Copies of this chain bind each other. A is one copy, B any other.
């Protein structure tokens, strides 16, 4: 393979990978460590790294190298690697440089205005900036659509969900939207039959919360020789596969949210850490896409850690960590607390049952915005109508409505569906894992996650980007993504069905 076009591409993508890893650590540092006065210089450092990365992908030699490598005999992993290289190159070279620069500027500016408009509940304030940004996002969608041979929305979606299809999402989300009203109604009726959960009484010192988090992370298989837990305003999983940095945010009056947040990020971290080490630094060694990534965090958080079995295991650890006593600290109560359903207005606070309604609303609206079927001025009304239809509640103001999420205001359209695709994928993978390995469920009840992790390593993590998303799901579970498995999970957990 020496001196082939393919091996020259590997060399170039290795450089790209190291530069992106450097940027990932700097991003983490900016969120978790950096004093505020470092922000301007950090923005310059990251912008410079972005430019250097772009130069690698936009290099004039790349088209010939990609074509040349296509004619070389490549095994399965190398062929997939070449496919992913081509994908990255297509995206990187799909837009003229001035559009990239304009988008970056308009996105930063609109987000800045949004940061003021949201607390002031002032959609009109941000509207002209969002108008401008959206027109640039549409230009980006046009450019990417032409280059990738996809529809405009799919071209945007493709950035986070490679080969994501609106036809598939329409089918999955359409069926779910039909079931949701009954599901939510049924869950509320079911939980009304049991006593309301009690909130454990604080305060919960940060050191104790951190210690309990570390204990559960370790139990789940987080590798502290290759990762850390720190604090940031917005929790995330960053860093690199060999050095995974997850963050959380503690509230001394309520440990439950930070703790579950840590477990969610641990799911992302286990995925990153389990990516194929022999393909580190190559595109085929990267995580598959956002729905698979989210499936890994939701599998850990929703499927595993909000289960009764896990909470039976975790309850004594939490009691010991906080000196908790009484009924509020029993697994049964913690389970009721962690599976409480409510029709609410804010996506990030939503429970497992109502969350998809928030996502489906955003998916519908952003498609209409990109396709030109909805004027931005009509967004607040359309939002409120959608909330009434899907969730049966209407926001009293835009702050709790269409101003709540940053995504659109920084120019990110096409990201939202990956949350619920991830939830569906998580349910399907976990069901398949339990079916394939009956040891998984009893082990979880004992706090032993090794059997589950082994299955995930083999069927998801260790495959990197070898397969496409649909192929990966089918390979791991024996069938294409099937929304009924997710609703079945919801019916079992929230309606007490079998």
Q: Is A220 an interface residue (CB 8 A)?
A: no
Q: Is A281 an interface residue (CB 8 A)?
A: yes
If A26-B25, A33-B228, A52-B52 touch, whether A38 touches B281 (CB-CB below 8 Å) is: no
Is A37 a contact of B280 with CB atoms below 8 Å?
Answer: no
CA distance A38 to B225 in the complex (A): 8
Q: Is A242 an interface residue (CB 8 A)?
A: yes
Identify which of residues 179-214 in chain A touch chain B, using a CB-to-CB cut-off of 8 Å. Answer: none
Q: Is A45 an interface residue (CB 8 A)?
A: yes
Identify which of residues 7-22 in chain A touch chain B, using a CB-to-CB cut-off of 8 Å. Answer: 15, 18-19, 21-22
Q: Which chain B positions have C-beta within 8 A of A278?
A: none
CA distance A29 to B22 in the complex (A): 11
CA distance A49 to B21 in the complex (A): 11
Q: Which chain B positions have C-beta within 8 A of A35?
A: 224-228, 243
Is B37 a contact of A225 with CB atoms below 8 Å?
Answer: yes
Q: Which chain B positions have C-beta within 8 A of A239?
A: 38
Q: Which chain B positions have C-beta within 8 A of A37?
A: 223, 225-227, 242-243
Q: Is A240 an interface residue (CB 8 A)?
A: yes
Is A240 a contact of B38 with CB atoms below 8 Å?
Answer: yes
Q: Is A135 an interface residue (CB 8 A)?
A: no
Q: Which chain B positions have C-beta within 8 A of A240?
A: 38, 41
Is A22 a contact of B26 with CB atoms below 8 Å?
Answer: yes
Greatest chain B CB density within 10 A among A22, A29, A240, A242 is at: A22
If A38-B242, A227-B35, A242-B38 touch, whether A25 touches B44 (CB-CB below 8 Å) is: no
The proximity string for A residues 45-77 relative to B, scoring 1 for CB distances below 8 Å and 0 otherwise, is 101110110000000000000000000000000
Across the interface, A29 reaches (CB within 8 A) one of B25, B227, B242, namely B25
| Least distance between A285 CB and chain B CB atoms (Å) | 12
Q: Which chain B positions have C-beta within 8 A of A49?
A: 18-19, 22
Identify which of residues 209-243 in chain A touch chain B, using a CB-to-CB cut-off of 8 Å. Answer: 223-228, 239-243
CA distance A41 to B240 in the complex (A): 9
Q: Which chain B positions have C-beta within 8 A of A281?
A: 44
Q: Is A340 an interface residue (CB 8 A)?
A: no
| Least distance between A47 CB and chain B CB atoms (Å) | 8
Q: Is A381 an interface residue (CB 8 A)?
A: no
Q: Is A36 an interface residue (CB 8 A)?
A: yes
Across the interface, A18 reaches (CB within 8 A) one of B45, B242, B280, namely B45
Give the B-binding residues of A (Cβ under 8 A).
15, 18-19, 21-23, 25-26, 29, 33-38, 40-42, 44-45, 47-49, 51-52, 223-228, 239-243, 280-281
